[in-house]
Every structure is written in C-alpha cells, then in structure tokens.
A and B are shown apart, each in its own frame.
Chain A
C-alpha cells in the first residue's frame, strides 16, 4: 500500500521556494532517510509534509489510514529547555489527536501514554520533570509522545543530534525495532552511515532532488 504520495511539490518561506518539482511515492513499511546539506530543504520538506508549512504548489496525499495520525519527533532544539512539564504530561499531550478526543484526557489516553512510556523504557522517569532529563532521555520521551499520536507513520527530524555514540546507537536501535514492527519511518539525518545501514529509500536534497532506493543511492553517490 502506498502510504504517502508527493506530486510536483514546491515549498519554501515567504514566497521563495526552497525546493521544487518533488514527486515520489512511499510504500507502507519503508524506512526513508532524508539527507542533504544544511539549508537544502530537508526541514522545509518535513514541515510541509506535517502541514506546518503550506505548500506553494503540488500535492501531498496520505493514505486514509494515516491521515492526521503522524508521529512527529521534532529537532530537540525546537523544544523549550526551561519549560515546567512532567514526562507524563509531555507524553500524554501526544494523545491530543486520538479519535474521539474532545476536551479532557480520558482513561484510555492515560493507558496509552503509560504503555508507550513502558515501551520506551522510561517508566522510572514518569513523574520527573522533562527539563531535568539527559538528551537521550528527552528523545525517548518525545518518541513516546509521537507513538501516542501514531501507530503507522513516524517522522523524525535529526533524532540523534547532540547524543553521545552509545545513546545514538540505542536510539537507532529503538527506531529500527519500531520499523520492524511495521512502522513506516521518515527520518532526516546527517549521518550517512546510519542512512546506508538502515534506510531502504533515500530522499536527497541538493542541487536537484533525488529519490530512490538506498542501494541505488549509495551505488551512485558514494562509489
């Protein structure tokens, strides 16, 4: 099943396009790495995909199953450092788009949040304050929040930036396990080694936009 189709997509800021003529289709269960230099349009693409930016042209079509149910893990620097919020509050806020949510978090939302907290192995941090956690722990919390919002499509913006090598490995491992359990993954990364190791599709931003399989990309670009 095709989970996402972009047709002739064009996006940018304040009337100036950052990229143009982007067309591709992504199958469910793919692991897509978005690579490219800083400023080449990776984050712009992601924000357009998530509906934070309006596209300047072209269309984005999601499969009906994931419409409005995308688990987003933002760049860590985008989250406020000195914000008073407990881990539970942050994870729970991922339930805000679950079906039937009106005004207050329901019992089932609390149960979902608890389950995702357990899955990420951060149960002991549940009542801690988000701002007191280490970078790796914060990423797990943000991942748990994203999992509350989505069970089929996960979108991550440079999830390992600022993490030490060991935590980076753990993070990749966790994303890999989610992918293996059927989650479609779209991940922006600077880490080409990781992209080669994990991704089955690559979307590369640069002078021109390139989309294809990981094998083709690393065959063409690296050798």
Chain B
C-alpha cells in the first residue's frame, strides 16, 4: 500500500490534486461553520448549481481553457444577489434559491446538449456534477489559482474573525456597535462563491454542500465554543480530504464521492461520541 502511494506521489498531477484538495476542504469547512450557523447552507447548494450553469455556458462559448473567467464572476454575482434577495422576501429566500439552482442546472444542461460542442455530453455533465476525475487533470496554473484564492480567503477570514463571530452570533448587536454587518455578510457570500467554484473541480457541483456542511455539523456535535468548532471543523475536513483522496487513488474510486463518504463516516462517529459524552466537551 505505502509503496503504491509513494509511486503515485511521484506524479505531479497527484501532488497537485492533494494540495488543492486540502486547501479547498480547509477553506470550505471554515466558511461552512458560519454558513451553517447563519442558516445559509442552502445558498452554498444554490451557488454550486449556478457554477455548473456557468461552466456549461463557458463550454458552449468555447472558453474551456479560460472557463474561470466566466464562472468566477457569475457565481460571485449570484451569491450577492441571493444574499440581497433573502432580505427582501417577496419570494421567500428558500424558494428563490430552489428556483436559481434548478434553473441553472436545467439551462446549463440544455445549452450543452443543443450546442453540440462536446462529443460526450453525458460524460462531461456527469464529471462536472460529481467531479469524477477532474481533480487529477489539474494544470499547474489552476493549482496556483487555487492556492492563491484559498490563501486569500483564509487570511481575510483570520483578520475578520472577531467581526465574523460578532455578526454571526448577533447581527443586531454588531450593527449597534458600528460593525458593517452587511459588508461582512457580502464578503462571506463572495468568499463562499469563490470556494464553491474551486471545489467544483474537487468534488463536483452536486457534492460541494457536503464539504461545507458535514465538518461544521460534526464539530458542533462535540464542541461548544465557536473557536473550537472552527478549528475542529478544519481538522476534520483536511483529514477527510486527504484520507478520501488517498483512498480514491489507491482503490480507484471517484475522488469526490470518496471524500464525502469519509465526511459522512466522521460525522456519524462524532455525533455518536458527542451523544455518549453528553455533548459537553
């Protein structure tokens, strides 16, 4: 097993996959804690579908090589709109998200089929949705983009940590103390959009929510302070990503679903342990 792993690690594409996988999972889990606590988990799901639609549009426009130029801004824009829309409540926030996510999926798939730019539509769509092998086909440029964006999001998160806590825990209090809560929310939404687009390569757009939600919920089963929950979610997510990717490489299983399976197992263990310990660690 170890010898096999060492052999695989000699390939640059395997190393690229591991680096990006770990960074994306780390960032997704940290943002996930806030998103789950703010009841925004669905926004993550909706955004991933928007990213899928944008990806299809990019393919149709034959921008496959620079697809990020289309996908990143479209998804960030959708994040901002969803956040603003959630407040005005003419159409309920959850209905709006459902409309956007299903709509983006449908239009994306339709575009792919009608345009006929791809010889294997079903295969392409499947790998976009479930991330089948694309993590192993990353180029150095994409790895750098991912390293740069994750590092950026992490640094901003650490710098704004106190404000993010205040806004997540009690938005009105934060506003009363002069924190610009709307700006913090907007930045969180934009950061989530960035990470979701990056995560599409790793686990595919249908499974991204798992990276956001599972580590946070697992950590909350055991820990009772915001800092500990955040740290624990990050550790869980990185371990599951590494373990999942290595298992996927050695066993030949699809990368995305293996990582998510690892997250599910850890969640089951953590919530059982949390219950046994009386949830007061």
**Residues in A lying within 8 Å of B, measured CB to CB:** 47, 50-52, 68, 70, 72, 74, 78-80, 83-86, 88-90, 93-94, 96-97, 101, 103-105, 129, 131-132, 145, 149, 155
Contact = CB atoms under 8 A, between A and B. Distances in A.
Given A85-B165, A97-B177, 5 more contacts: A50-B175, A74-B172, A85-B225, A104-B161, A132-B224
Contacts of A47: 172
Interface in B197-227: 220, 223-227
A96 B175 contact: no
14 contacts: A52-B172, A52-B176, A70-B176, A72-B176, A78-B170, A80-B169, A83-B168, A83-B226, A84-B228, A86-B225, A93-B165, A93-B173, A103-B159, A104-B161
B177 A96 contact: yes
B147 interface: no
Contact of B177 (A85, A86, A94): A94
Contact of B225 (A51, A79, A89): A89
Nearest to A98: B177
B160 interface: yes
A96 B162 contact: yes
B179 interface: yes
Query: Interface extent on B, as a size class?
Result: 20 to 34
A109 to B, nearest CB: 9
Contacts of A68: 177-178
Contacts, number: 89
B229 interface: yes
A85 B226 contact: yes
B264 interface: no
Contact of B172 (A50, A97, A104): A50
B175 A93 contact: no
A93 B224 contact: no
A93 B166 contact: yes
Given A52-B175, A103-B162, A132 B280 contact: yes
A78 B179 contact: no
Given A85-B226, A96-B179, A103 B160 contact: yes
Contacts of A80: 37, 169-170
Nearest to B165: A93
A84 B170 contact: no
Nearest to A68: B178
B42 interface: no
A149 B172 CA distance: 14
4 A-B pairs closest in CB distance = A129-B224, A86-B225, A50-B176, A97-B177
Contacts of B229: 84
Given A78-B170, A96-B166, A149 B223 contact: no
Given A83-B37, A89-B226, A145 B173 contact: yes
B172 A78 contact: yes
B163 interface: yes
A79 B229 CA distance: 18
B249 interface: no
B143 interface: no
Contacts of B172: 47, 50, 52, 72, 74, 78
Nearest to B216: A84
Nearest to A70: B176
Contacts of B175: 50-52
Contacts of B177: 68, 70, 72, 94, 96-97, 149
B37 A93 contact: no
B85 to A, nearest CB: 15
A88 B227 CA distance: 11
B174 interface: yes
B2 to A, nearest CB: 38
A51 B176 contact: yes
Contacts of A74: 170, 172-173
Contact of A104 (B162, B168, B226): B162
A85 B160 CA distance: 17
Nearest to A72: B176
A83 B38 CA distance: 10
Interface in B63-119: none
| Residue among A78, A79, A93, A103 facing the most chain B CB atoms (10 A cut-off) | A93
A51 B223 CA distance: 34
Contact of B179 (A84, A97, A105, A132): A97
Contact of B162 (A70, A93, A129): A93
Contacts of B159: 103
Nearest to B175: A52
Nearest to B179: A96
B176 A84 contact: no
A96 B174 contact: yes
